[in-house]
């Protein structure tokens, strides 16, 4: 069996179509009708009557079980004398029935076909039965004609018949959705828009678990999507469209590779889940230096560029906004800037952003670039005028490199970070944004973790003798007499900080990105005296207030999330109290533009 292996990062996705093989209880051409007191002919809603298979493939005389969902006892009949129908039996659920189907031995060994009619009340369904002389997998149909998929993404279904449990193997760019009903011989795939430079194709291999050599291959192909050239929105107009943002933190930025810091790799279902929660913008922190295939030329591995593009495609396909940056990345950029300008660092900045921008040029204004992450964060005390001049030089290189690639990048909105993404440093006279020949396409980024002894501090004494982690934020959540109440950084302070950004930037037509903000998750295991209810209320209040105040002052909020509050597999909320509070803040906050 030939398998398609041309795509990088191909993964095995297995599902098992359960086909129970049991002994035959009895032989008859039809089963008994209703004997439980149900009326024999009734009307009921479509969808209440479901048959597990539209086609059955039997090997020799080996039986299979047909499962039926029905509000009344169904009957099953056969149009062929060689097909035998067992008793219809009720399972544990009152609406689920099973029936064993078997065949006479086929002495001629020719493939033969018959059909079953399953009747429930006034409705009926037909099941095709095919008997083979040996174990087999057969493709019944594929919903996408000729295996040709839509360039802009979608779903398709493969219906198959098999004489046993199966494995299903597919290219990584196809996501198995799985069965949505009792249909055990149908698999649905979801795929994103093909934003690559050329069409792509791949093989879906369906094979028997008992003998993988017995298999069928479905080849699918997808042409590249048309490039959108809508770059009409200014930075202010784009910011106004961003309701609430979230980070895919600790996932694509580890130097050791995607998902090596305890989170799974990004999938499309997770992005859809984020959208369902209410987010419409996603920050994608990325590593690049650890994905270089040729250090002498600063060449990024094409496979990594493809992967980042794929994740951006997941986001844009949902009509969400994406931010791609150079994150910590081992510190070559944001740590080194403390020591002043370095020509080698500047060259690497130019080389990396030229490649990133060229690869992602196919995306329209839904994608924004951020040149750095937190420049100087690791040694804030050492950040001086020389450090800030280096930051400004690297940011200018970022602008020049991106604009030089042309296309959509000629007008793409670009985000610039204040020194260690600090508000006070960002509004000081020492810092200024890089020059850009394209007006109205710049944003500035800060991060917000104040009060830090409430949001970040890991343990008592970590920041000096006598320092203590604070649990309770906001006057309504303070506990009388507790030394765990926040003593700074509460509501009025938050407003005053964001007001600084509004006055310095927003009022001049430059919107602000709050690229990160979050409160560390705590437990009574680490802090036995923690009042969990008050702490949760404090965490929720802080998150709501930061979100609302940021928007009120023209700052787009992007929550820092690393898997503690949101399920990284499907995007569902793990801590609903937190996500609900965030969305309340997003709804209450109103941009001043």
CB atoms within 10 A of CB 260: 12
Q: Which of 226, 249, 281 represents a domain boundary (last residue)?
A: 226
- Looking at residue 339, its pLDDT comes to 96
Question: What sign does the dihedral 41-42-46-47 (CA atoms) show?
Answer: negative
Q: 343 and 218, same structural domain?
A: no
Q: 251 and 222, same structural domain?
A: no
Q: 535 and 429, same structural domain?
A: yes
Q: 551 and 533, same structural domain?
A: yes
| Cα–Cα distance list, 504 to 177, 426, 512 (Å) | 48, 9, 10
**377: helix, strand or coil:** helix
- Looking at residue 42, its pLDDT comes to 40
Q: Nearest CA to 207 among 142, 147, 136?
A: 136
Q: 291 and 214, same structural domain?
A: no
- Residue 319 pLDDT > 90: yes
Return d(Cα 400, Cα 135) in angstroms, integer.
63
Average pLDDT, the chain: 91
- Looking at residue 140, its pLDDT comes to 87
Where does 505-563 have alpha helices with state H? 532-552
- Residue 383 pLDDT > 80: yes
C-alpha angle 567/319/520, rounded to 5°? Answer: 30
Strands 174-176 and 148-149: unpaired
- Residue 587 pLDDT > 50: yes
Return d(Cα 278, Cα 256) in angstroms, integer.
31
Return d(Cα 548, Cα 517) in angstroms, integer.
12
Q: At what angle do helices 532-552 and 576-588 cross, to 10 degrees?
A: 30
Tokens of 494: 């938050």
Q: Lowest mean pLDDT: which of 34-48, 124-138, 454-468, 507-521?
A: 34-48
- Looking at residue 161, its pLDDT comes to 85
Radius of gyration of the chain (CA): 30
Q: 244 and 193, same structural domain?
A: no
- Specify whether the CB–CB gap between 206 and 168 falls below 8 A: yes
Q: Which of 226, 253, 274 represents a domain boundary (last residue)?
A: 226
What percentage of the chain has pLDDT greater than the value 90?
82
Average the pLDDT over 97-122 and give the result: 91
Tens digit of pLDDT for each residue in 341-372? Answer: 999 999 999 999 999 999 999 999 999 999 99
Average the pLDDT over 558-576 and give the result: 98
- Return all residues near 285 (Cβ < 8 A) that are at least 6 apart: 247, 248, 249, 251, 252, 253, 325, 327, 373
Band of the pLDDT at 184, cuts 50, 70, 90? Answer: low
Return d(Cα 276, Cα 269) in angstroms, integer.
10
Q: Lowest mean pLDDT: which of 162-171, 202-211, 336-345, 422-431?
A: 162-171
- Residue 213 pLDDT > 80: yes
- Looking at residue 109, its pLDDT comes to 64
- Specify whether the CB–CB gap between 66 and 20 falls below 8 A: no
**397: helix, strand or coil:** helix
φ/ψ of 580, rounded to 5, equals -60, -45
Average the pLDDT over 163-188 and give the result: 79
Q: Lowest mean pLDDT: which of 53-62, 268-277, 279-288?
A: 53-62
Q: Nearest CA to 473 among 396, 531, 389, 413?
A: 531
What does the DSSP 8-state code read for residue 433?
P
Q: Is residue 475 part of a domain?
A: no
- Specify whether the CB–CB gap between 283 and 246 falls below 8 A: yes
- Looking at residue 590, its pLDDT comes to 99
Q: 168 and 242, same structural domain?
A: no
- Looking at residue 93, its pLDDT comes to 76
Residue with the bigger pLDDT between 225 and 33: it is 225
- Residue 241 pLDDT > 70: yes
- Residue 469 pLDDT > 70: yes
**445: helix, strand or coil:** strand
Residue with the bigger pLDDT between 134 and 26: it is 134
The total of structural domains in the chain comes to 2
- Residue 12 pLDDT > 60: no
Return d(Cα 441, Cα 432) in angstroms, integer.
15
Average the pLDDT over 61-86 and give the result: 95
Return d(Cα 377, Cα 387) in angstroms, integer.
11
- Residue 11 pLDDT > 90: no
Q: Is residue 212 part of a domain?
A: yes
Helix (H) or strand (E) segment spanning residue 85: strand 83-85
Q: 266 and 203, same structural domain?
A: no
The whole domain housing 260 covers 235-460+489-588
Band of the pLDDT at 253, cuts 50, 70, 90? Answer: very high
- Specify whether the CB–CB gap between 190 and 177 falls below 8 A: yes
- Looking at residue 43, its pLDDT comes to 44
φ/ψ of 399, rounded to 5, equals -60, -50
CATH, residue 118: 2.60.40.10
Q: 102 and 180, same structural domain?
A: yes
- Looking at residue 178, its pLDDT comes to 62
Tokens of 432: 């200024």
Average the pLDDT over 555-560 and give the result: 99
- Looking at residue 47, its pLDDT comes to 60
CATH, residue 312: 3.20.20.80
Q: Which of 167, 196, 226 represents a domain boundary (last residue)?
A: 226
Tokens of 307: 């992967």
Q: 263 and 216, same structural domain?
A: no
Return d(Cα 235, Cα 511) in angstroms, integer.
7
Q: 188 and 128, same structural domain?
A: yes
Q: Lowest mean pLDDT: which of 163-167, 284-288, 520-524?
A: 163-167
- Specify whether the CB–CB gap between 315 and 293 falls below 8 A: no
- Residue 247 pLDDT > 60: yes
Q: Lowest mean pLDDT: which of 88-102, 314-328, 474-488, 558-572?
A: 88-102
Average the pLDDT over 164-171 and give the result: 93
Band of the pLDDT at 305, cuts 50, 70, 90? Answer: very high
Beta strands in 361-441, from DSSP E residues, in sequence order = 367-370, 414-417
- Specify whether the CB–CB gap between 446 and 560 falls below 8 A: no
- Residue 38 pLDDT > 70: no
């Amino acid at each position: 069996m030939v398998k398609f292996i041309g795509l990088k990062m191909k993964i095995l996705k297995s599902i098992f179509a359960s086909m129970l093989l049991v002994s035959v209880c009895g032989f008859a051409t039809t089963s008994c009708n209703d004997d439980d007191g149900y009326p024999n002919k009734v009307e009921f809603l479509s969808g209440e009557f479901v048959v597990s298979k539209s086609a059955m493939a039997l090997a020799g005389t080996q039986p299979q079980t047909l499962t039926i969902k029905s509000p009344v006892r169904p009957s099953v009949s056969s149009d062929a004398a060689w097909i035998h129908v067992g008793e219809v039996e009720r399972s544990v659920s009152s609406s689920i029935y099973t029936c064993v189907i078997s065949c006479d031995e086929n002495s001629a060994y020719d493939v033969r076909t018959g059909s079953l009619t399953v009747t429930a009340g006034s409705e009926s369904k037909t099941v095709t039965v095919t008997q083979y002389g040996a174990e087999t997998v057969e493709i019944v149909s594929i919903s996408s004609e000729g295996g040709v998929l839509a360039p802009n993404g979608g779903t398709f279904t493969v219906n198959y018949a098999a004489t046993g449990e199966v494995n299903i193997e597919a290219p990584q760019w196809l996501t198995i959705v799985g069965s949505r009903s009792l249909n055990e011989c149908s698999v649905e795939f979801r795929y994103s828009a093909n934003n690559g430079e050329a069409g792509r194709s791949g093989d879906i291999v369906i094979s028997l678990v008992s003998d993988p050599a017995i298999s069928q291959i479905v080849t699918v192909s997808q042409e590249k999507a048309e490039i959108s050239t809508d770059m009409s929105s200014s930075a202010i107009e784009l910011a106004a469209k961003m309701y609430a943002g979230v980070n895919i933190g600790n996932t694509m930025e580890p130097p050791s590779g995607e998902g090596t810091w305890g989170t799974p790799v990004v999938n499309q279902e997770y992005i859809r889940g984020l959208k369902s929660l209410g987010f419409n913008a996603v920050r994608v922190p990325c590593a690049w230096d650890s994905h270089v295939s040729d250090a002498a030329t600063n060449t990024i591995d094409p496979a990594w560029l493809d992967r980042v593009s794929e994740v951006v495609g997941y986001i844009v396909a949902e009509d969400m906004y994406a931010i791609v940056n150079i994150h910590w990345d081992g510190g070559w950029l944001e740590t080194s800037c403390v020591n002043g300008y370095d020509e080698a660092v500047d060259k690497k900045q130019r080389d990396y952003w030229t490649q990133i921008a060229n690869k992602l040029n196919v995306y329209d204004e839904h994608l924004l670039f951020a040149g750095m992450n937190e420049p100087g964060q690791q040694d804030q005390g050492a950040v001086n005028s020389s450090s800030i001049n280096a930051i400004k030089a690297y940011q200018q290189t970022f602008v020049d490199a991106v604009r030089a690639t042309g296309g959509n990048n000629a007008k793409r909105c670009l985000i610039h970070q204040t020194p260690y993404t600090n508000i006070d440093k960002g509004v000081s006279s020492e810092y200024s944004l890089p020059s850009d020949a394209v007006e109205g396409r710049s944003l500035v980024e800060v991060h917000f973790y104040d009060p830090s002894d409430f949001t970040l501090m890991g343990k008592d004494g970590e920041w000096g003798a006598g320092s203590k982690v604070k649990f309770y934020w906001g006057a309504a959540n303070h506990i009388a007499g507790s030394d765990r109440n926040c003593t700074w950084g509460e509501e009025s302070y938050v407003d005053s900080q964001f007001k600084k950004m509004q006055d310095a930037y927003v009022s001049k037509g430059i919107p602000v990105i709050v690229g990160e903000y979050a409160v560390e998750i705590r437990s009574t295991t680490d802090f036995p005296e923690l009042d969990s209810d008050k702490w949760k209320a404090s965490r929720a209040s802080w998150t709501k207030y930061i979100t609302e105040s940021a928007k009120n002052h023209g700052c787009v909020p992007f929550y820092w999330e690393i898997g503690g509050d949101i399920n990284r597999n499907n995007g569902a909320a793990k801590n609903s109290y937190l996500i609900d509070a965030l969305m309340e803040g997003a709804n209450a906050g109103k941009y001043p533009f």
